[in-house]
Structure 1
Amino acid sequence: MRVFRGRGPTVDADREASRTLLEVAADGERAVRVWTPHRQVAFGRRDRRRDGYDSAHSTADERGFPPVERDVGGRAVAYDGETTVAFARAEPIADFRRGTGERYERLASDLEVGLASLPGLERDRLAHDEPEDAFCPGTHSLSTAGPNGRLRKVAGIAQRVRQNGAITAGILLVDGREELVGVLEAVYDALAIPFDPDSVGTVATARGPSNPDVVRQKVEDALVGDAEPTVEPVGALLEESTGQD
């Protein structure tokens, strides 16, 4: 399995590297990437159809989170550029009409295994569920029990499928909860979408480590599983992307 580490030099280059993962899968190879993306708010396609999108776009920018538009996933998500981790697993497929649910469940389970291996984060505090009015609401999320017993979302998962390959990916909040809540609350308010600030969790607030490098390694190990990894810098993906043009 090819394992890519690091992030691209710019937001656009980093996103291009992630898109190239799907090409790797379509060519018959499996790949994993777990990294810390640049600081940004990534809006989904449905966000762009909202009347308040322009205002939300400006709001993110004013708060120091450059706004971008992504191809997969649902509503807006925020990366602080330091502690927010992204993860992706790409794999070849024989039939794009089958296996979507199984890939979601497999990645969610592997992510849970990785998080449960972190010091201080007990597995019984994790749930394949999400609270009401969470950021980027979806049916494939991972949450932890908050201080009041209520669920707090720490990870969301999305999937993109093409003829011969699929990429299942997501976002994991490790630390920086206060700042992330602030920008998400402002953005969702501008979009006029219900959002509960208390629904946001992080690995750190769930008693896990706040060091994104520690979390990144555990998640990478879990997503690779029993496969033999071949580690490459993210620049290798960018070179492959250039070669496809």
Structure 2
Amino acid sequence: MRVFRDRADESPLTRSRTECLLASAADGTPAIRVWRPPGVMAFGRRDARDPGFDRAVRIAEDRGFEPLERDVGGRAVAYPGDALAFEHAVPLTDASASIADRYDRATATVADALRGLGADVVAGEPPASFCPGDHSLRVAAGGKVAGLAQRVRADAALVAGCLVVTRADARAIATITDPVYEALAVPFDPTTVGSVAAAGGPSDPERVARAVEDAFVDGPWGNGRRRIDRVGDDA
């Protein structure tokens, strides 16, 4: 598996990086990237079609978040500083693998990584969560920690997601998401944002990132083999 790591600790969400992962998968080699995109509000395709989108963008900008549109589905996700983004690209060579199969495998992989760090997480999400969807992880009896979305093209598929690490980021996500979702007319309860730390795991985003990366490499797609590619800001 190719492991893409940024030379800087923090890096923006860029489509060029995503295309690198998809190109690798299209050539037959799965790829993974886990990183921190600080100060970003990543809007989904549904958001961009919403009548309240322009107002939501202004709210994000006024509060110091750079608005970006991502290629995968899902609703807007805020990255205040220590929250992680991850992307996993796989070839479409296994005819038996479906969208649901990829979701199930990826969700289980992230859950295993977090449990290995001591976090008590389970599948699912509370009502009115950020980036609502069927493929999420939450603190057991608590708030949402991670959400996943997927993009499929003819030669490769991309499973992408967000992961809240610290309690401070959970509070920051709740604060910015509330007015943004109000503009988009998306139900949201600020108390539903959880974190790896709230689940009993570490507050160190680098440690969590490496655990998630390792889980994908050691899983069914990577078989424990990795090739690290370091990319710069111009990638």
TM-score when normalising by structure 1: 0.86
* Alignment-derived partner of residue 23 in structure 2: 23
Number of residue-to-residue matches in the alignment: 228
Q: Secondary structure at the match of 1:160?
A: strand
* Alignment-derived partner of residue 173 in structure 1: 164
Which residues of 2 match residues 45-60 of structure 1 at below 5 A?
45-60=45-60
Structure 1 position 202, deviation (Å) = 0.8
* Alignment-derived partner of residue 140 in structure 1: 135
Q: Aligned-pair RMSD on alpha carbons?
A: 2.1
Q: Which runs of 5+ in 2 are unaligned?
A: none
User: C-alpha offsets along residues 149-190 of structure 1, whole Å, 9 cap, x if unaligned?
Assistant: 3x3111011111111111111110111111111101110111
Alpha-carbon distance between aligned partners in 1 of 2:28 and 2:93, rounded to the nearest angstrom: 10
**Counterpart amino acid of residue 230 in structure 1:** R
Asked if the contact 1:131/1:153 (under 8 Å) is kept, the reply is yes
Q: Secondary structure at the match of 2:143?
A: strand
* Alignment-derived partner of residue 231 in structure 2: 234
Q: Which runs of 5+ in 1 are unaligned?
A: 239-245
User: C-alpha offsets along residues 67-99 of structure 1, whole Å, 9 cap, x if unaligned?
Assistant: 11111121110111x311111211111268952
* Alignment-derived partner of residue 162 in structure 1: 153
User: C-alpha offsets along residues 3-30 of structure 1, whole Å, 9 cap, x if unaligned?
Assistant: 1112788636x33212321121112111
Over 3 Å counting, the alpha-carbon distance change for 1:116 and 1:10 in structure 2 is closer
Alpha-carbon distance between aligned partners in 2 of 1:83 and 1:42, rounded to the nearest angstrom: 15
Alpha-carbon distance between aligned partners in 2 of 1:229 and 1:171, rounded to the nearest angstrom: 22
Asked if the contact 2:92/2:155 (under 8 Å) is kept, the reply is yes
Asked if the contact 1:96/1:163 (under 8 Å) is kept, the reply is no
Over 3 Å counting, the alpha-carbon distance change for 1:178 and 1:228 in structure 2 is same
* Alignment-derived partner of residue 32 in structure 1: 32
Asked if the contact 2:55/2:183 (under 8 Å) is kept, the reply is yes
**Counterpart amino acid of residue 163 in structure 1:** A
* Alignment-derived partner of residue 63 in structure 2: 63
**Counterpart amino acid of residue 183 in structure 1:** I
Q: Which of structure 1's runs of 4+ aligned residues deviate more than 6 A?
A: 7-10
1:3 aligns with 2:3: yes
* Alignment-derived partner of residue 198 in structure 2: 205
Alpha-carbon distance between aligned partners in 1 of 2:155 and 2:188, rounded to the nearest angstrom: 36
Alpha-carbon distance between aligned partners in 1 of 2:95 and 2:55, rounded to the nearest angstrom: 37
1:127 aligns with 2:122: yes
Asked if the contact 2:11/2:36 (under 8 Å) is kept, the reply is no
